[in-house]
Chains A and B, each alone.
Chain A
Amino acid sequence: MIRIQNLSKVYKTNKQEIQAVDNVSLNIEQGEIFGVIGYSGAGKSTFVRLINRLEEPTDGSVVIHDKDITNMPKNQLRKKRQKIGMIFQHFNLLWSRTVYENIAFPLEIAGVPKTKQQEKVLELINLVGLSGKENAYPSQLSGGQKQRVGIARSLANDPEVLLCDEATSALDPETTDDILDLLVSINKKLGLTIILITHEMHVIQKICHRVAVMENGKVVETGDVLDVFVKPQSKTTKRFVQQLNPLEHEKDKLAEFINDREDSEVVKLHFIGKSAKRALISEVAKTFDVEINILQGSIAPTQEGAYGTLFIEINGEKEILKKTIEFMEDTGVEVEVLKHA
């Protein structure tokens, strides 16, 4: 649906060239929530601005619904932009306009008649849950409410795609979750394709179907969110995944449980998708003559299923231990036996 090919952006200053976006190619499917994650300076913000040509690409092409954005003349591009919604980190609302007037603004630009404007604006206000706030000014709203106005505004002309540039980065964790829930419900209700830029893995984990990891202007890894979570390939991706899994930071604390005895093993279990919901531990305890000591555990839900990690200590006879681990591996759970480094 959106085909991005060899997209590049070079900034030239007096003395040097900066390659902000370097030969990025991606295909984004109709109706998916596609995340782009990277540390600041990775080029992700420039990347999203190339999609609607807020920045002119140096090279490459962006094709949305078979229309090449990159070589469109200005007046055609303006029309097309009405179908590409965008929300921002700092909301970018007009302080001089009320909530109602802010949402009506893109409709005014598109030349929608007043009576139809009213219908659409009220519908959108309902959709984003701001009923009763029509006549409030942005300064009277909280951050989360402001972003809701931003979202309503971006949806006014029934866009084909919604670009989110760090849309939750200025919000507190709870409000972030509310806004993410709203984006998911819009994605489901309207079948809207969403491209989302963020530096928080939490955001990717919570709502994205697929993710691209950016570093130095390049996409270093891309794939289904769950796959990327479970088997991160690049160093950057691993760091992002660790951000989310507090246990990874506490591996040292497990050291005291790890020993060289043959009747005791410390095991790290990875539960992915459906297996995360299985009562594996009690199954094992019933089947084998072992003692299980749960050390640490966490679970993270994603759009494609849950992803959990569990550290356990198993005590028992050597042979039984071996069978137990084989049994666990057979269930599809990923098992890693921890040894001293």
Chain B
Amino acid sequence: MLEELFPNVIPEDLWEATLETFYMTSIAILGTLIFGILLGLLLFLTDSGNLWQNRFINFITATIVNVFRAIPFIILILLLFPFTDFLIGTIRGWKAALPALIFGAAPFYARLVEIGLKEIDKGVIEAAKTMGAKTHTIIFKVLLPESMPALISGLTVTGIALIGYTAIAGIIGAGGLGDLAYMKGFQRRDFDVVLACTILIIVIVFIFQYIGDTLSKLIDKR
């Protein structure tokens, strides 16, 4: 039955491409999480009226974030070729897609982190100050835990965008389902391969959304 519907699909290839997409996305999400939270915290803390209030650093951070968000992802990959070559040692394969994926997604996530942090009740931060809390205590024991549901749902949204990015990266040889769909499917006019890849990507997105929603709900005690 499956062979009739998808005559040109080689299961081993499909499985390998799925794994590549999975690795690419997972590591990119991890990188995005780390850099996104760092940037988001920096944006939030240096904003006026906050703990590290600093116009200059806030402006610089905001500019970097905005510039990288403004560059279309396909162009970002091309622009980062030299950097990727230097860092990874190659510009081919799923590992070579990571810098562009993280550079593309982290600034987007940083803004979502900033929004999440801004939604924390200012009074709670004030209360921590009255108890004599240091800034790092406020960050790790107030800011991050109190914005956790927003951080998680933001990461879900970003993660799903990242899955889309990995497919785009596939077109220039990053491997994964996007690569398979374009090279083996579109180029050879085997549209059943394109369809199979699409279905798998949709499944991955759904799984992602489900995990994100469940986690966010579980952690939200408001």
Listed in ascending order, the chain A residues whose CB lies under 8 Å from chain B are 52, 54, 77-82, 84-86, 88, 90, 92-97, 105-106, 108-110, 137-139, 153, 157, 163
Contacts and interface: CB of A to CB of B under 8 A. Distances in A.
Contacts of A77: 132
Nearest to A89: B123
Nearest to B145: A96
B142 interface: yes
Contacts of A95: 146, 221-222
B132 A94 contact: no
Nearest to A140: B221
Given A92-B121, A96-B221, A137-B221, A81 B129 contact: yes
Interface of B: 121, 123-124, 126-134, 137, 141-142, 145-146, 148, 219, 221-222
B121 A106 contact: no
A78 B222 contact: no
Contact of A79 (B132, B141, B145): B132
Contacts of A92: 121, 123-124, 126-127
Nearest to A77: B132
B221 to A, nearest CB: 4
Contacts of A110: 131-132
Contact of B131 (A81, A138, A163): A81
Contacts of A85: 130
A105 B146 contact: no
Contacts of B121: 90, 92
A264 to B, nearest CB: 58
Listed residue (B124, B219, B222) with the most chain A CB atoms within 10 angstroms of its CB: B124
A139 B221 contact: yes
A93 B124 contact: yes
A103 to B, nearest CB: 11
Contacts of A88: 123, 126-127
Nearest to B131: A106
Contacts of B142: 94
Contacts of A163: 130
A54 B219 CA distance: 31
Contacts of A80: 132
Contacts of A84: 130
Q: Which 6 A-B pairs have the closest CB atoms?
A: A81-B132, A92-B127, A92-B123, A78-B132, A106-B131, A137-B221
A315 B134 CA distance: 72
By secondary structure, the A interface counts as: mixed
B67 to A, nearest CB: 30
Nearest to A90: B123
18 contacts: A52-B130, A54-B129, A77-B132, A78-B132, A80-B132, A81-B129, A82-B131, A90-B121, A90-B123, A94-B145, A96-B148, A96-B219, A96-B221, A105-B131, A105-B141, A109-B134, A110-B131, A153-B131
Nearest to B137: A109
Given A108-B141, A109-B137, A54 B130 contact: yes
A337 B139 CA distance: 65
Nearest to A138: B221
B107 to A, nearest CB: 27
A94 B124 contact: yes
Given A81-B130, A88-B123, A138-B221, 18 more contacts: A54-B130, A78-B132, A78-B134, A79-B132, A81-B129, A85-B130, A90-B123, A93-B127, A94-B146, A95-B222, A96-B221, A105-B131, A105-B141, A106-B131, A108-B141, A109-B133, A157-B131, A163-B130
A140 B81 CA distance: 53
A203 B111 CA distance: 44
A166 to B, nearest CB: 12
Nearest to B138: A109
A108 B127 CA distance: 14
A86 B148 contact: no
Contacts of A138: 221
A241 B134 CA distance: 43
Contacts of B137: 108-109
A54 B134 contact: no
A338 to B, nearest CB: 48
Nearest to A80: B132
A86 B219 CA distance: 28
Contacts of A86: 127, 130
Contacts of A137: 221
A109 B134 CA distance: 8
Contacts of B129: 54, 81
B136 to A, nearest CB: 11
Nearest to B122: A92
A85 B219 CA distance: 29
A96 B130 contact: no
Contacts of B148: 96
Contacts of A153: 127, 131
A88 B148 CA distance: 24
A157 B132 CA distance: 11
A92 B124 CA distance: 5
Contacts of B221: 95-96, 137-139
B133 A96 contact: no
